[in-house]
């Protein structure tokens, strides 16, 4: 199964570095002595590794790493660490960053929670942006961040995408993407995937209308679509696991061709609320009403499209249009539901560790962190997000010298937390490693 290595870096410098190293050096000898007896975590990158936890053999299927440095705020800090750990507050999910023409491109993204609020706060949106926002909220969306582009061309959209998504968004939609010619579509789609990957998010990518029309024509070839997946995957590299590429757009009752991404983003948000972010809103149980696929592929064609990394659509009489697959562009074993679960867990733990940044980097803090992260994962296990017959089969948390960090880590002021979670099947673990620079 594909291994995933992701690095998320923050660039913040701790004030009074000399003092930090002096204190860390004094703590090193004491901290090693009181280090907690934690389960050793295997950390060989790019290698499938087996390890023993009690009597159960488990497999590390992929690894992620994040490094976060302490904030550079001068002064003296007093930090009290709760005896049973701080609680981890779940980050918001199903929040769509929607890029289109209308809002001021140089202004901050506009946060809206309804179509009415969007109409009030963005008075002159382009028709494509207005339609995308309407479709998002009509299909169950509840939070969106509207970001302005100076025009509908690739050269105007690319600066609006930037290198990362607006803070808080975990989905990315570009209102004018499907209308771009194929030559302009590819660089925009690549930029979307890279920005989403850097932000622990998913880019929902609509195909060019021209390519879909070619495949849908009587003499059309499926290669017009399969080549999209092949080219985008090659150009995206590791960011391909942050891309869901649709094999078709949709057509409404008036015959207008619309992107499917805002509809699906709305369904994702609604599913997060009703069933949990670890579930995907694909298949016949989740449909878009009043629209049909621009390209109605056959069952045989569906298999070929999925092999190329595309998610086909199907019209179900009396119900609407469904997205048949939640496979990501990166490969047949990578799924939207799994990637979003890992993204959410990593983002929640990373945010939660900020409250410990000025705590002493010692056994008391490590114990508190371990309990806080374990409590958060226990809640996910109880809800069915993590798989296993018991909590020990579903996750593990380690933090301490000898298990996740060395004496040199202490001297450098780092606290390292390793988490293993079984997301797609019991006994198959994804590992998340977060290294945080402490500010004490």
pTM: 0.83
Of 261, 234, 258, nearest to 245 (Cα)? 261
Tell me, rounded to whole angstroms, the distance of Cα 144 from its chain centroid: 16
Q: Please report, for residues 279, 348, 433, the alpha-carbon distance to residue 2 in angstroms, rounded to integers and kept in the order given.
A: 20, 24, 18
- Tokens 């006994």 correspond to 427
Please spell the DSSP secondary structure of 353-389, one letter per residue: HGGGTTS-SSHHHHHHHHHHHHHHHHHHHHHTSS-SS
Question: Residue 237 in 3-state DSSP?
Answer: helix
Are the C-beta atoms of 228 and 318 separated by less than 8 Å?
no
CA-CA distance, 158 to 144, in Å (whole number)? 19
CA torsion angle for 206, 211, 213, 218 (degrees, to 10)? -140
Q: Running DSSP on this structure, what letter comes out for residue 405?
A: B
CA-CA distance, 160 to 155, in Å (whole number)? 9
Predicted pLDDT of residue 4: 34
Q: Which residues of 248-270 are buried (b: 16+ CB within 10 A; e: fewer)?
A: bbbbeeeeebbbbbbbbbbbbbb
Ramachandran angles phi, psi of 408, nearest 5°? -65, -35
Which residues, listed in sequence order, are joined to residue 62 by a DSSP beta bridge?
430
Predicted pLDDT of residue 119: 96
Predicted pLDDT of residue 70: 58
Predicted pLDDT of residue 60: 57
CA-CA distance, 421 to 381, in Å (whole number)? 10
Are the C-beta atoms of 258 and 131 separated by less than 8 Å?
yes
Pairing of strands 395-398, 428-437: unpaired
CA-CA distance, 337 to 23, in Å (whole number)? 43
Which residues, listed in sequence order, are joined to residue 293 by a DSSP beta bridge?
250
Domains of the chain: 7-79+355-437 (no CATH), 95-326 (3.40.50.11780)
Are the C-beta atoms of 195 and 205 separated by less than 8 Å?
no
Ramachandran angles phi, psi of 316, nearest 5°? -110, 110
CA angle 142, 146, 150 (to 5 degrees): 160
Predicted pLDDT of residue 54: 34
Predicted pLDDT of residue 61: 54
Predicted pLDDT of residue 426: 84
List per-residue pLDDT tens for the chain, 440 residues long.
333 333 333 332 223 323 333 333 333 333 333 333 333 333 333 232 333 333 334 455 567 777 766 555 444 434 444 443 457 999 999 999 999 999 999 999 999 999 999 999 999 999 999 999 999 999 999 999 999 999 999 999 999 999 999 999 999 999 999 999 999 999 999 999 999 999 999 999 999 999 999 999 866 689 989 999 999 999 999 999 999 999 999 999 999 999 999 999 999 999 999 999 999 888 777 888 889 999 989 898 999 999 999 999 999 888 889 999 999 999 888 999 999 999 999 999 999 999 999 999 999 999 999 999 999 999 999 999 999 999 999 999 999 999 999 999 999 999 999 999 999 888 889 999 999 999 86
Predicted pLDDT of residue 69: 63
């Amino acid at each position: 199964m594909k291994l995933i290595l992701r690095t998320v870096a923050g660039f913040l410098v701790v004030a009074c570095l000399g003092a930090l190293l002096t204190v860390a050096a004094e703590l090193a000898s004491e901290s090693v002595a009181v280090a907690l007896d934690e389960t050793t975590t295997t950390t060989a990158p790019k290698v499938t590794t087996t390890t023993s936890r009690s009597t159960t053999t488990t497999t590390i299927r992929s690894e992620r790493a994040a490094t976060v440095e302490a904030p550079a705020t001068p002064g003296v800090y007093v930090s009290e660490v709760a005896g049973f750990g701080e609680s981890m507050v779940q980050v918001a999910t199903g929040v769509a960053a929607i890029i289109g023409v209308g809002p001021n491109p140089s202004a901050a993204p506009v946060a809206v929670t309804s179509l009415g609020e969007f109409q009030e706060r963005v008075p002159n949106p382009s028709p494509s942006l207005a339609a995308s926002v309407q479709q998002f909220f009509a299909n169950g969306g509840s939070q969106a961040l509207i970001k302005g582009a100076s025009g509908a061309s690739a050269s105007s959209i690319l600066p609006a995408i930037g290198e990362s998504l607006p803070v808080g968004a975990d989905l990315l939609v570009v209102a004018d993407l499907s209308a771009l010619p194929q030559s302009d579509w590819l660089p925009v789609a690549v930029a979307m995937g890279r920005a989403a990957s850097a932000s622990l998010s998913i880019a929902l990518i609509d195909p060019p209308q021209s390519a879909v029309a070619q495949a849908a024509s009587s003499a059309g070839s499926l290669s017009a679509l399969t080549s999209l997946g092949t080219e985008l995957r090659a150009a995206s590299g590791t960011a391909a696991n942050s891309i869901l590429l649709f094999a078709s757009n949709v057509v409404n009752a008036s015959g207008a061709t619309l992107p499917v991404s805002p509809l699906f983003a709305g369904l994702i948000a609604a599913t997060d609320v009703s069933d949990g972010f670890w579930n995907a809103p694909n298949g016949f149980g989740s449909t878009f009403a009043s629209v049909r696929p621009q390209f109605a592929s056959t069952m045989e064609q569906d298999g070929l499209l999925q092999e190329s990394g595309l998610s086909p659509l199907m019209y179900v009489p009396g119900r609407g249009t469904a997205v048949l697959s939640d496979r990501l562009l990166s490969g047949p074993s990578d799924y939207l539901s799994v990637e979003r679960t890992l993204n959410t867990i990593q983002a929640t733990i990373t945010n939660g560790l900020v409250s410990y940044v000025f705590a002493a980097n010692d056994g008391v803090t490590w114990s508190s962190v371990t309990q806080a992260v374990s409590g958060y994962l226990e809640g996910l296990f109880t809800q069915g997000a993590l798989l296993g017959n018991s909590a020990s089969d579903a996750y593990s948390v380690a933090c301490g010298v000898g298990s996740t960090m060395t004496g040199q880590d202490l001297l450098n002021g780092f606290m390292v937390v390793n988490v293993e979670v079984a997301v797609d099947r019991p006994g198959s673990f994804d590992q998340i490693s977060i290294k945080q620079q402490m500010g004490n």
